[in-house]
């Protein structure tokens, strides 16, 4: 008989730049070992996952990460009183710092289990520290530098040339081919995500990504590589295919082994025409395309839940090559009273 669990999940924004929450929930609903009741944790009242009642059984709003840990803890205490949460899976970079800090306390005081990277791992993989991370773990990383104003851009020309990549500290990136574009991207991204902005060397090649999970002791529990087949104007994969790429798999297992990564992650690489791999980003949580791994034979969210509960997890041995995901959009019809309820009461 499947074990019944109450699992809380963030990242319900299934929009054109989707969060990982809905695919994580779909993976958990597919589990043969767990019978899950899903508690959605939302930040905005129009996150589509709130209204997907076939996937999300109950939703509560939680404070934005900028509100701090104390107010988050108070809200989680209330939610836990109502739902008796067994496992919580955060899915946004910006919220992870608070959840990592609260992980031990939530487990001891509320019985809420998580499986997250350590603070050191979270900080070391940050975009501003990625070059050091690459040097430490033997991975090629494009040259990058953080800046705090557009006045610094022209001063970088001794080190960088156009095109260059302008990145936010949490999300978003854009390629600039001249100063005007660089300044425009800087202002747009910093207005949304704050400072610093990261300027990164542009690497020509094909983007290949990996969704993976490590046990915190150096073992790779699972890893599935993917190449984007269709990319939106925001750089998000709208379709992708699993790859047979042993070099990419070796890079992933070596990095997880060297860093002893704990929990889910996404590795973003650029593969050049000379078959060189450059690590562009490490996202310290599952990607929005993680359900492709489930379709290819590796249910990473299910494995994460087992690890959070302290259960033994057998590493996945293989996956199906040539599996595609194709994302789509559709219109849900929602009663106004539901929107009013989540807006006024903070739960639905």
Look up the CATH number of the domain holding residue 149: 3.30.1490.20
CA distance 178 to 51: 43
Number of domains in the chain: 2
The CATH number of residue 85's host domain is: 3.40.50.20
Q: Which domain holds residue 148?
A: 143-201
CA distance 348 to 345: 8
Task: Sort strands 220-231 and 206-215 into parallel, antiparallel or unpaired.
Answer: antiparallel
Q: Are residues 96 and 161 in the same domain?
A: no
Q: Are residues 53 and 100 in the same domain?
A: yes
Residues β-bridged to residue 89 = 9
Residue 106: is its pLDDT beyond 80?
A: yes
Element (H, E) at 108: helix 93-110
Residue 193: is its pLDDT beyond 90?
A: no
Q: Are residues 22 and 80 in the same domain?
A: yes
Range with the poorest average pLDDT among 69-73, 86-90, 258-262, 327-331: 327-331
C-alpha distance from residue 326 to each of 25, 42, 52, 194, 228 (Å):
18, 25, 19, 32, 10
13 in Cβ contact with 47 (< 8 Å): yes
CA distance 195 to 88: 29
CA distance 47 to 113: 25
DSSP string, 234-279: TS-EEEEEE---HHHHHHHHHHHHHHT-EEEEEEEEEE-TTS-EEE
Q: Are residues 109 and 15 in the same domain?
A: yes
Residue 119: is its pLDDT beyond 90?
A: yes
In a domain, 171, yes or no: yes
Q: Are residues 103 and 148 in the same domain?
A: no
Q: Are residues 104 and 180 in the same domain?
A: no
Q: Are residues 95 and 152 in the same domain?
A: no
In a domain, 23, yes or no: yes
CA distance 85 to 82: 9
Q: What pLDDT score was predicted for residue 186?
A: 96
pLDDT interval class at 17 (50, 70, 90):
confident
List pLDDT tens digits, range 197-229. 999 999 999 999 999 999 999 999 999 999 999
Q: Are residues 162 and 83 in the same domain?
A: no
Q: Are residues 19 and 93 in the same domain?
A: yes
Q: Are residues 95 and 40 in the same domain?
A: yes
Q: Are residues 105 and 34 in the same domain?
A: yes
CA distance 45 to 340: 9
DSSP classification of residue 43: S
Select from 185, 201, 217 the last residue of a domain.
201
Q: What pLDDT score was predicted for residue 209?
A: 97
CB count within 10 Å of CB 296 equals 24
Of all residues in the chain, the percent with pLDDT exceeding 70 is 100
Q: Tokens 């996202």 belong to which residue? A: 283
In a domain, 336, yes or no: yes
In a domain, 233, yes or no: no
DSSP classification of residue 113: B
In a domain, 53, yes or no: yes
Q: Tokens 């929602």 belong to which residue? A: 334
The SS3 call for residue 85 is coil
Residue 234: is its pLDDT beyond 80?
A: no
Q: Are residues 37 and 101 in the same domain?
A: yes
Rounded average pLDDT over 28-35: 97
In a domain, 244, yes or no: no
List pLDDT tens digits, range 36-46. 999 999 999 99
CA distance 18 to 269: 20
List pLDDT tens digits, range 76-96. 999 999 999 999 999 999 999
List pLDDT tens digits, range 292-330. 999 999 999 999 999 999 999 999 999 999 999 999 989
In a domain, 60, yes or no: yes
In a domain, 186, yes or no: yes
Select from 182, 201, 220 the last residue of a domain.
201
Select from 153, 183, 201 the last residue of a domain.
201
């Amino acid at each position: 008989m499947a074990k019944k669990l109450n699992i809380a999940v963030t990242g319900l924004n299934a929009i054109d730049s989707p969060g990982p929450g809905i695919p994580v929930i779909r993976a958990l609903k597919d589990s043969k070992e767990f019978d899950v009741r899903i508690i959605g944790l939302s930040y905005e009242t129009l996150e589509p996952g709130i209204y997907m009642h076939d996937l999300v059984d109950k939703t509560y709003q939680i404070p934005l990460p900028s509100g701090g840990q104390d107010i988050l803890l108070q809200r989680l205490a209330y939610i836990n009183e109502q739902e008796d949460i067994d496992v919580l899976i955060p899915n946004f970079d910006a919220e992870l710092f608070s959840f990592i800090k609260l992980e031990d306390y939530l487990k001891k005081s509320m019985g809420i289990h998580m499986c997250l990277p350590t603070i050191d791992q979270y900080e070391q993989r940050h975009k501003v520290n990625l070059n050091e991370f690459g040097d430490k773990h033997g991975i090629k990383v494009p040259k990058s530098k953080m800046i705090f104003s557009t006045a610094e851009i022209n001063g970088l020309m001794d080190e960088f040339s156009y095109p260059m990549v302008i990145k936010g500290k949490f999300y978003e990136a854009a390629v600039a081919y001249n100063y005007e574009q660089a300044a425009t991207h800087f202002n747009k991204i910093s207005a949304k995500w704050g400072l610093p902005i990261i300027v990164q060397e542009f690497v020509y090649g094909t983007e290949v990504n990996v969704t993976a999970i490590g046990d915190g002791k150096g073992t790779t529990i699972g890893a599935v590589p993917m190449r984007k087949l269709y990319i939106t104007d925001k750089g998000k994969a709208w379709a992708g295919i699993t790859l047979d790429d042993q070099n990419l798999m070796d890079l992933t297992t070596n990095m997880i082994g060297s860093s002893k990564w704990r929990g889910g992650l996404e590795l973003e690489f650029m593969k050049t025409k000379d078959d060189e791999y450059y690590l562009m980003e490490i996202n310290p949580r599952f990607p929005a395309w993680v359900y492709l791994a489930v379709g290819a034979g590796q249910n990473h969210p299910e494995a994460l839940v087992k690890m959070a509960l302290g259960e033994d997890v057998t590493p996945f041995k293989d996956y199906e090559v040539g599996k595609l995901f194709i994302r789509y959009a559709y219109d849900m019809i929602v009663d106004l009273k539901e929107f009013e309820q989540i807006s006024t009461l903070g739960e639905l």
